[in-house]
Amino acid sequence: STQPVNLPRISYKRARFPALVSNQRNVSRKPVVCTVQSVPSIYSTTDVRISKTSEWKALEEHAKNVILKTHLRDLVTDAKRSEKLWAEFDGCILDYSRQRVIPETMKLLFALAKRAQLEEKKEAMFRGDKINVTEDRSVLHTALRAPKGTQLYIDGMNVVDEVWQILEKIRTFSERVRNGQHVGVTGRPIKNFIAIGIGGSYLGPEFLHEALRTEKVASAAAGDRVLRFLSNVDPVDVKRATDKLNPEETLAIVVSKTFTTRETSINAKTIKDWLIYHLGDSAETIKKHMVACSTNLDKVVKFGIAPENMFPFWDWVGGRYSVCSAVGALPISLQYGFDVFERFLQGAHSMDAHFRYAPLEGNLPVLLGLLGVWNMSFLNYNARAIHPYSEALLRFPAHIQQLDMESNGKHVNIFGEAVDYPVGEIDFGEPGTNGQHSFFQLLHMGQVVPCDFIGFIESQNPVCEEGEPVSNHDELMANFFAQPDALAFGKTAEEVRQEGKSEWLTPHMVFTGNRPSSCLLMPVLDAYVTGQLLALYEHRTAVQGFLWEINSFDQFGVELGKVLANKVRKQLNESRYFNKEISGFNHSTTKLLNRYLEGSVG
Ligand code: F6P
């Protein structure tokens, strides 16, 4: 039988930090001039491009002459070295001794970080300088989790006050819904939530929801409430989102920064029609059953959502960095209560303060970022994998994939020149141990892909099977501890032969090893730790962008496909309903479109 056991709870000291007080109104600082021709002031002192500096060259030499001549098998057995490649903060342990680095490598990477003015760029971000130069915007997701009372003035406004005004509005609204003061149009309590959004307006909240769903405090607070996400414009996703939900008890949350994204507009309209069909076409139906998170009040109102039912955020919050804004706050507070969301913000803030104030040498996000740059730009590993040994983090890899690939998937630097070194890894991952039975064959014997292993000391749901030597969580974690060593050490032909394998089989069973990875060991996946983890990876992405001298905060790459889809949409419509011929496309697209039209009923 499966019996929950009461494992001893371990308590972890949570760090306390000074509030992120930075640029008070009366503190003068140089204005940042951002025009088409200029870059943020922090880059204006950069006379030599990063890849032309002596620090970069030193790392190239070091890679060639030292690291590429070593094997992790030899490095990892050096206990003194391993001791140095370890950092801890607020319950979060980073062991990077299985990366292809030695302390000298780290010294050279810190020198590169200094040359790239990492400290100054980091500070410019926290201070609210308009470092997203192509869109002339601040990058202030850290302000979303700053404690109440923090002063951070942008264009004469204390943005943290604004953040907290909206958070309080969300607290009040979610409490009214949860305690039955806000009911549906037929008088029934609301207990189902459909969050409609895509990309950054979806992946963050979904990963957070999954992380909390099985957590003790959060799941007790959720009760029998249901939170679902509707992101894909595929009509099948509408079916999945609404399946077996009673519209009388359902609230739809339209999440869109711009409120112009086609997929979200269409899905929002479909859900509006679904509500009207079941509950009647009245202003009251929409008022009781639809709310929005956006920066675009005009469009929200035009759609029919009452202004008081809009929960705003700001242009200085990038979509993929928006989970700490109303984008995550509203669905998560409705489902789990505001207090749970606040714990998540506190965890993220703890990591923010660490990132901002800790010296580079022990700074977790900086270390992860430097290792990312090292692996990609100096060792030429162009992918990396993330393996949370936690089923509750099943959507974390997808969130990090968007966060990182939409941020650092660039071909020009901040000056608009082509980058002449590799930037922007391919990120992917799956929870362990499932990933082990999927793509780990390639990780062990195929291409080299640096890995992040994320594990927890305690399970969200401790279970011990009678007759088994270890608890289920220990079983999971045995794999977490084993895989990084298997990747690092591999297995030599000699070792295979010693196992009695035949000569012809031996090469098939050799593991070359020397495959780098990092281990992150954290206490237990609760709201606070989830916040730490989120901020850790957000800042890793920023560090890499800062070092690579690229703008990690725009995403023009998603535009071209959207424009072409508009052209296709127009022609599909004209061909289907006005018998116009498909034209203006290449041969292949024309043929595909005609076959689609022949076979489809529209
Ligand atoms: O995928 C492109 C993108 O612009 C993302 O950056 C963004 O998170 C997503 O689309 C959704 O945008 P919006 O929140 O404006 O609907």
Across 152-168, average pLDDT: 95
Across 3-7, average pLDDT: 38
pLDDT of residue 41: 67
3-state secondary structure of 600: coil
107 catalytic, yes or no?
Answer: no
Parallel/antiparallel/unpaired status of strands 153-154 and 157-158: antiparallel
Task: For residue 453, report the phi and psi dihedrals to the nearest 5 degrees.
Answer: -105, 125
320 lines ligand 1 (CB under 6 A): yes
Across 458-487, average pLDDT: 93
Q: Of 136-145, 314-323, 513-522, 562-571, where does mean pLDDT reach its minimum?
A: 562-571
Distance 197 CA to ligand 1 centre (A): 8
As a residue count, the chain comes to: 602
Burial of 82 (0-12, 13-18, 19+ CB in 10 A): middle
d(CA 583, CA 574) in angstroms, rounded, equals: 11
Q: 290 near 193, Cβ under 8 Å?
A: no
pLDDT over 60 at 24, yes or no? no
d(CA 539, CA 545) in angstroms, rounded, equals: 10
Distance 255 CA to ligand 1 centre (A): 10
- Closest CA to ligand 1's atom 2: 558
Task: For residue 505, report the phi and psi dihedrals to the nearest 5 degrees.
Answer: -80, -25
Tokens representing residue 437 in the block: 């039975």
Atom of ligand 1 nearest to the CA of 202: 8
pLDDT over 50 at 26, yes or no? no
pLDDT of residue 34: 33
For residue 601, name the pLDDT band (cuts at 50, 70, 90). low
541 lines ligand 1 (CB under 6 A): no
Q: Tell me which residue of 319, 318, 340 sits closest to 329, measured CA to CA.
A: 340
d(CA 45, CA 58) in angstroms, rounded, equals: 22
pLDDT of residue 470: 86
Sign of CA dihedral 414, 416, 418, 420: negative
Across the strands, what pairs with 426? 383
Q: What is the pLDDT of residues 349-376, one digit of tens each?
A: 999 999 999 999 999 999 999 999 999 9
Across the strands, what pairs with 255? 293
pLDDT over 70 at 32, yes or no? no
- Closest CA to ligand 1's atom 1: 199
Q: Tell me which residue of 359, 89, 105, 441 sits closest to 97, measured CA to CA.
A: 105
Catalytic residue among 52, 411, 437, 570: 437
Catalytic residue among 64, 114, 239, 562: 562
Amino acid at 495: E
Distance 555 CA to ligand 1 centre (A): 9
437 catalytic, yes or no?
Answer: yes
Q: In testing the pocket of ligand 1, which one of 269, 555, 556 has its CB within 8 Å of the most ligand atoms?
A: 555
More confidently predicted of 46 and 110: 110
Q: Which residues contact 44 (CB under 8 A, 6 or more apart)?
A: 38
201 lines ligand 1 (CB under 6 A): yes
Distance 264 CA to ligand 1 centre (A): 9
Across 64-75, average pLDDT: 98
pTM of the model: 0.92
Across 141-161, average pLDDT: 95
d(CA 143, CA 125) in angstroms, rounded, equals: 10
Q: In testing the pocket of ligand 1, which one of 405, 558, 563 has its CB within 8 Å of the most ligand atoms?
A: 558
Output the CA–CA distances (angstroms, integers) from residue 205 to 160, 196, 240, 396, 570, in the order listed.
21, 11, 18, 10, 33
Catalytic residue among 215, 248, 342, 406: 406
d(CA 69, CA 269) in angstroms, rounded, equals: 60
Quick one: three-class SS letters along 135-190? CCECCCHHHHHCCCCCCCEECCEEHHHHHHHHHHHHHHHHHHHHCCCCECCCCCEC
pLDDT over 80 at 452, yes or no? yes
pLDDT over 50 at 10, yes or no? no
Q: Which residues contact 228 (CB under 8 A, 6 or more apart)?
A: 192, 193, 194, 195, 240, 241, 245
pLDDT over 60 at 9, yes or no? no
pLDDT of residue 467: 86
Tokens 């040498």, located at residue: 361
Burial of 118 (0-12, 13-18, 19+ CB in 10 A): buried
- Edge to edge, the sheet with strand 290-294 lists 226-230, 192-196, 250-255, 290-294, 310-312
pLDDT over 80 at 489, yes or no? yes
CA 183 to chain centre: 34
pLDDT of residue 373: 98
Q: Tell me which residue of 281, 399, 358, 468 sits closest to 94, measured CA to CA.
A: 358
Q: Tell me which residue of 102, 98, 86 sits closest to 514, measured CA to CA.
A: 98
For residue 468, name the pLDDT band (cuts at 50, 70, 90). confident
Distance 201 CA to ligand 1 centre (A): 6
Tokens representing residue 343 in the block: 């714990």
244 catalytic, yes or no?
Answer: no
Nearest-10 Cα torsion for 65, 67, 71, 73: 140
d(CA 161, CA 158) in angstroms, rounded, equals: 6
pLDDT over 60 at 13, yes or no? no
Atom of ligand 1 nearest to the CA of 322: 8
Distance 529 CA to ligand 1 centre (A): 26
More confidently predicted of 126 and 44: 126
558 lines ligand 1 (CB under 6 A): yes
Tokens 């690291």, located at residue: 67
Q: Tell me which residue of 368, 387, 404, 354 sits closest to 204, measured CA to CA.
A: 404
Distance 322 CA to ligand 1 centre (A): 10
CA 512 to chain centre: 32
pLDDT of residue 155: 85
Cis peptide before 433 (omega within 30 of 0): yes
551 lines ligand 1 (CB under 6 A): no
pLDDT over 50 at 30, yes or no? no
With pLDDT > 90 as the criterion, what percentage of the chain qualifies? 89
Q: 109 near 368, Cβ under 8 Å?
A: no
272 lines ligand 1 (CB under 6 A): no
pLDDT over 50 at 16, yes or no? no
Angle formed at CA 489 by CA 488 and CA 491, multiple of 5 degrees: 135
399 lines ligand 1 (CB under 6 A): no
- Helices 527-548 and 396-408 pack at an angle, to 10 degrees, of 20
Q: Please, what is the average pLDDT of the chain?
A: 92
